[in-house]
Amino acid sequence: MSRTVTVGLDDSPDSRAAAEWAAREALLRGLPLKIVHVQEPTPRYVARTPLLDLESYRRWARRLTHESADGLRLRHPGLEVTTEQLTGTVADVLCEAAGFAELLVLGSRNLGGLGGFLVGSVSLGVVARAERPVVLVRARERAADEHRADPAGAPSAVTPYRPVVLGLDIEDPDDTLLEFAFDAAARRKAALRAVHAWPEPPRPFYRFPGDAELHDTLERGQVSLLGKVLRPWRQKFPDVEVIEASRCGSAAQVLVNESRDASLVVVGRRIRTGFLGAHIGHVTHSALHHITAPVAVVAHG
């Protein structure tokens, strides 16, 4: 079975932005796009609206996906688009759909719900459980946001891409995460900014003579370790410009700061088994809530 870029669609602005992003990504990867709409057995807003019966809801859902597919084909010539109507609990069905996809794309808010937090509980639930990459896209995301401004300073979708930013733990680097980030940068002909944070030494560290020199030694050691992790990937992707960013400070805050001009941010999620269940690390959680660019969460062992 050939893989697809799959997008979960409802009528929210976030999911429509996600569909547009997914269409662009499918063209970059040379893959078909699949639009998936999940119909809950008893959709929440149908149950609260006696004038709207379940069959009317199903007709609306079919029209939503077909009209979205037609629009994407018009705006992205050459893109193959298919649609699928599925029934079940939204997060469960989307996790299953992700298993057959190259990557799954979602709006950052709840799919099928109203309101919610900055990142909806459904989207967070899928990110925490899916074992394929999941990309979350915000409502106001536009193609021009991924590109540098033109010479006059105006937004443009034809100028070079902004950097792809990778949040990296050099103590436990994962090939799946590195491969995804380098490949994304290569497809965009963009630079890859590899971001690594290391904790600031405790305050008593600074009370003694020679502490500044020791701090510089620690910093040089961290920079050297980052370069060592990236070296084989530079060789594998020689056309990708790599920007190494080793910073002292909170890993979550450093990543947010280094992602202000990103076209895409790539972070990892360790697949956990056992009684702890699904889990999103605090750095990934912070990225999803505070970074405005699309965020790709790559599950790894």
CA distances from 300 to 11, 230, 272 (A): 31, 18, 9
- What is the model's pLDDT at position 178? 98
Give the H or E element holding residue 106.
Answer: strand 101-107
In this structure, of 36-50, 248-262, 278-292, the range with the lowest mean pLDDT score is: 36-50
The answer, yes or no, to whether residue 185 has pLDDT greater than 90, is: yes
- What is the model's pLDDT at position 274? 52
CA distances from 37 to 96, 105, 133 (A): 13, 12, 19
Under the banding of pLDDT at 50, 70 and 90, the label for residue 111 is: very low
Under the banding of pLDDT at 50, 70 and 90, the label for residue 120 is: low
- What is the model's pLDDT at position 35? 97
The answer, yes or no, to whether residue 219 has pLDDT greater than 90, is: no
Give the H or E element holding residue 299.
Answer: strand 295-300
The answer, yes or no, to whether residue 10 has pLDDT greater than 70, is: yes
The answer, yes or no, to whether residue 200 has pLDDT greater than 90, is: no
- What is the model's pLDDT at position 203? 56
